[in-house]
Amino acid sequence: MLSDRLLELVNIAKLQQVINGGSPWLVLSSLLLVVTIGVIVDYGRMLWLRSKMPPGPLPLPMVGNTFHLPDNKPWLWFEQLSKQYNSPLITVWIGRNPTVWINDAWSANELLDKRAGVYSSRPRMTVFAELGAGQNNMVNMYTFTPEQRERWRVHRKLMHHAVGSQQVRNYRKFQNDESKVVAYDLLRDPANYVKHFERYATSVVSIIGFGRRVESYNDPIITEVIAVMHLAADLNVPGKSFPMLMETFPWLAKFPNAIAPWKHGLGKKRGTSFFYAVAEEAAQQPGHEEKFVKYLFDKQPEFNMNHDEIAGLSGNLFGAGSDTSSSTLITFVLACCAFPETLIPAWEEIDRVVGPHRSPHFDDEPNMPYLKAFVKEVLRWRSVAIIGGQPHAPTQDDHYKGYLIPKGTWVQGNVWAIHHNEREFPDPDRFNPKRFLKDDPDSRPFPGDKGYMTFGWGRRVCSGQVLAEQGTWITVARLLWGFKIEKKRRADGSVVEVDINDYTNGLNMRPRPFECSITPRSETHRETIEREGRLALQDLEQYRGESKYRMSTFYQESSRAMELYGDGGKGHKA
């Protein structure tokens, strides 16, 4: 680059001055000249790119628009900018690097789906990737070169074995049983509905991945893993405070952790070794040969996978599946409380098709179009991955409607803006399942046949999409069938209101805690829930098991092992 060459020439001049005995003031002035010229040239580059890219606010030298970012929920600001500039694509600069935000369903479909081959890579992510799991994790992998693309395809193929569209049909039996247990738990302890959802979601992916279920919401694996997932989600949301400020100043990430409190402990890659240990333990235990970790270790020699890769594949399945699915179910409860009128058609349809003496099963889905629309609206109304997951990056310079999108640029879909566009979703904050019924007046054209973009796009679409949709449908259907879910009433008869906008700030957002009332619809429903719940627990007994590892103590024990045995402690080191 021209700026790099100028810096080099000025540095040579400065060095010559020092050699010739130049005064300190001359050296200092030369240094200031270097900095000034470098900033001017670099800012010229930024402005030149800005003139060719989608519109957006004027970036400042070096820091871009970082300090323009709001403290919370920046996706609302990106939506506002899109309206302000009357453009579905806007450019926001994080430091010296541009990020293109897509705020329109049709543009997202055109770029990320129809041009999936171009937008298949990830950009450089200092905080989430370089200080996290790095390039050994499928979520972060670059696909700029043929070798990188091939490695990513290997990981995608392996993950497809666990949660591919055909494979997940084999999980319906235990997924259905775990859903029955959720209803049974809510009957006995409705106040802890969040914990029941987290146990359910974690248990399903634990059976798939490790061949054992999670029996109690007190199991520390739930709270520990979900806490890690929440932290990871926070590390994907652009911000003007640490640690996300390292995306603006990536050189700060080079400092050792001991003298860099702004890194918040990032850079140790500690989670990978824990998930490898748990995967190795489960793979060696007898029974359930179809479990995913057993398949990974069987395929390890063929694909030459290292410990970090096995840890990433098993950890991604376990962590992401537990957090996102439980968050979706919490949103479902919130929608029931805030929009009780939408429950009446659901009850009418369920009672007509199912009745009170059994709960819904997967074969009922084709006969319940309103319930199917209800689940779609849950996924649309308050999507969990609100900024579409990790950013995409084009593998080559691309052009869209006259705008340049340079190779390697951060490109993110603003799912909030996409799902709240009045054109596709009139009155978007209103929970309205009828908008997904084709003949309804509120129905609008939308790219793709699903009607929502909750799970991302193209080659980077969420691997577990079908599993999540399948589990959400059966659980929502069962809970609507069996319960009245409504606002909580105080002893004096007053109602505890709910706030449909009170959500967390991370990439995977969920409602903040709220009280509600969950009661069986009738005595017959109660008896059916109890009967089916007990039978489901009997069926699930085959998946009983427990890991000896706890994330909270794993690294303390690993450190002691290293002290005692030296290299012998590497057994769990990724």
Annotated binding site for heme: 462
Nearest partner of 545 among 251, 265, 182, 281, judged by Cα = 281
Instruction: Provide the angle, in degrees to the nearest 10, between the axes of the packed helices 24-52 and 2-19.
Output: 180
Alpha-carbon gap, residue 359 to 535, rounded angstroms:
13
Cβ(378)–Cβ(472) below 8 Å: yes
Q: Over the range 155-164, which residues count as b (16 or more CB within 10 Å of their CB) and which as e? A: beebbeebbb
Q: Euclidean distance between the first and final Cα of the chain, in Å?
A: 38
Question: DSSP letter at 111?
Answer: I
Tokens of 94: 């994080």
Helices (H), 235-356: 270-284, 292-303, 307-338, 343-353
Tell me the sheet residues that pair with 486: 517
Tokens of 307: 């410990």
Cβ(118)–Cβ(132) below 8 Å: no
Nearest partner of 545 among 280, 279, 174, 207, judged by Cα = 207
Alpha-carbon gap, residue 434 to 430, rounded angstroms:
11
Helix H or strand E segment including 97: strand 97-102
Cα angle vertex 342, ends 339, 344, to 5°? 125
Annotated binding site: 462
